[in-house]
Amino acid sequence: MDLSWTEEEESFRADARAWLETNVPRDLGSGDTADGFSRHLEWERALFADRWAVVSWPEAYGGRDASIWEWLLFEEEYYRAGGPQRVTQNGVFLLAPTVFAFGNQDQQDHVLPRMAAAEDLWCQGWSEPNAGSDLASVRSKATRVDGGWILDGQKTWTTRGAFCTHLFGLFRTDPASERHRGLSYLMVPFDIEGVTVRGFGRLDGDEGFAEVFFDDAFLPDDCLPGGPVLGDVDNGWRVAMATTGSERGLTLRSPGRFRATAQRLVDLWSETPDERRGAVVRDRLVEAWMRAEAYDAFTLQTVTGLVEGDEMGAESSLNKIWWSELDVELHRVALDLLGAGAELDAGPEGAWSKGWQFALSGPIYAGTNEIQRNIAAERVLGLPRPK
Ligand SMILES: Cc1cc2nc3c(=O)[nH]c(=O)nc-3n(C[C@H](O)[C@H](O)[C@H](O)COP(=O)(O)OP(=O)(O)OC[C@H]3O[C@@H](n4cnc5c(N)ncnc54)[C@H](O)[C@@H]3O)c2cc1C
């Protein structure tokens, strides 16, 4: 493996760094509140205006045709510069790779540039009250009628759903089917009749979740150019697995994010008075920093494989376990360094206690870590399924 960057890549990095240093905003607040979300949208639109919102996409869709390596460099620079959370992430990092892989030309030409420009805002409609880890028990249904689909059912835990304009999700389209069969992957604009979006609060005080109810909602075939079904009707499970691969694998949580947190932790250590810097915390800090570096090295290995034509497959579960548990530990070490002061550190986005609260959800979202361990056991290690 060659770990050096080409001149072209270094020049791409320098351009990104210069732009981010001048433009990254401070104190946007949490993007999971109505006010914060609108400030974050301005930032998303500024990124798009200068073609930094989706660097690896084709120029025609607002990108720079950057390679996957350059995308990694951009991510590293983004977090190094203190760039805020990406409130468009569920569209840009989850739906978009799936639209590139399964969408028809009309869908790609319509959905992708509007998503990049933060004109259409996408949330993920997987979970239901009785379908979380067991996603195959999805009950929301779409019934075929003249000119479209009738949707009925309920989705829940849709991140930032209350602020979004569209939802992508799984619906049962074959009423006789069970489990993974007979599902379709639909893209649904919220402005059709019969959709109710009800935002609700989280334990950390933000209002970032929504429940979405579909009551005889008519989804016309022409609600989107190319139609609302992504991939084949009744074959949505396969399409959805591509999305979960992006969520657990490369795109949702790049190493730049954790390396930047690890560096902030080292800075925090330097500012911490001697009496709070015990040897145990120091060892944990070093270990957490090494784990962030290890994640970077693992990602370079993954990307090398992808560039050579490999597919990520079940290994994305290992990735997800690693980044989510690393994030919890980085924040725990910070709270131990802050001591009782951590309670007072509940300020703007980026504060350690707020970050810790969110880190705790990492082992739950994108599929819980218990489920990822089951997948790793069965599909990576080849162990038998429990009886
Ligand atoms: C911050 C956050 C954001 C989210 N955003 C979204 C979103 O945008 N869209 C969306 O659709 N969903 C979203 N979710 C929901 C998330 O996908 C689910 O919470 C997750 O899949 C778990 O499902 P559940 O909550 O129903 O828990 P359950 O499936 O009921 O699980 C409860 C517990 O049982 C364990 N368990 C269940 N089955 C097994 C098994 N077979 N083996 C071992 N242990 C098992 C689980 O690991 C967990 O600990 C989000 C969740 C969080 C926390």
Amino acid at 102: F
The C-alpha atoms of residue 174 and residue 178 are separated, in whole angstroms, by 9
Residue 183 near residue 172 (C-beta atoms within 8 A):
yes
Give the span between the Cα atoms of 236 and 246, in whole angstroms.
16
Tell me how far apart the alpha carbons of residues 6 and 73 are, in angstroms, rounded to a whole number: 12
Q: What is the pLDDT of residue 340?
A: 82
Amino acid at site 301: Q
Q: What is the pTM of this model?
A: 0.96
What average pLDDT does the chain have?
A: 95
% of residues, the chain, pLDDT over 70: 98
Of 185, 269, 183, residue with least CA distance to 229: 185
Q: How far apart, in whole angstroms, are the C-alpha atoms of residue 222 and residue 348?
A: 42
Q: Count CB atoms within 10 A of the CB of residue 299.
A: 21
User: Taking a C-beta distance cutoff of 8 angstroms, is the pair 307, 68 a contact?
Assistant: yes
Residue 366, judged by CB atoms within 10 A of its CB (0-12, 13-18, 19+), counts as buried
71 confidence band (pLDDT: 50, 70, 90): very high
Q: Which of 2-6, 319-323, 372-376 has the lowest mean pLDDT?
A: 2-6
CB of residue 324 inside a 6 A radius of ligand 1: no
pLDDT higher than threshold 50 for residue 348: no
Nearest to 72 by CA among 55, 96, 51: 55
Give the H/E segment covering residue 219: strand 209-220
Q: Which residues are registered as beta bridge partners of 32? A: none
Closest to 324 in 3D by CA, of 236, 237, 257: 257
What per-residue confidence (pLDDT) applies to 312? 86
HSE toward the beta carbon, residue 213, CA cutoff 13 A:
6
Residue nearest ligand 1's atom 41 by CA: 371
**Residues annotated catalytic, as ranges:** 247
Q: Give the pLDDT band of residue 166 (cuts 50, 70, 90).
A: very high
Residue type, 375: I
pLDDT digits (tens, 9 = 90+) for 280-311: 999 999 999 999 999 999 999 999 999 999 98
- b or e along 130-166 (b: 16 or more beta carbons within 10 Å of the residue's beta carbon)? ebbeebeebebbbeeeeebbbbbbbbbbbbbbbbbeb
Return the pLDDT at 84: 95
Given the CA of residue 123, which atom of ligand 1 is nearest to it?
A: 8
Residue nearest to atom 25 of ligand 1 (CA): 132
In the numeric block, which tokens belong to residue 375? 């997948």
Q: What is the dihedral of CA 324, 328, 329, 331, to 10 degrees?
A: 130
Our mutation pick for probing the ligand 1 site, out of 156, 179, 188, 368, counting the most ligand atoms within 8 A of Cβ, is 368
Would the pLDDT of 345 be above 80?
no
> Which residue's CA is the nearest one to ligand 1's atom 39?
371
Closest CA to 149 of 229, 239, 211: 229
Q: Is the CB of 374 under 6 A from ligand 1?
A: yes
Task: Provide the 8-state DSSP code for 128.
Answer: B
Indicate whether residue 156 lines ligand 1 (CB < 6 A): no
124 bridge partner residues: 168
**CA 140 to centroid of ligand 1, rounded, Å:** 17
Question: What pLDDT is stored for residue 93 in this prediction?
Answer: 96
Distances (CA, A) of 215 to 24, 123, 141, 183: 42, 19, 10, 19
368 pocket-lining for ligand 1 (C-beta < 6 Å): yes
Task: Name the residue of 32, 88, 93, 133 whose CB sits within 8 Å of the most ligand 1 atoms, as the mutation to test its pocket.
Answer: 133
Share of the chain above pLDDT 90, in %: 87
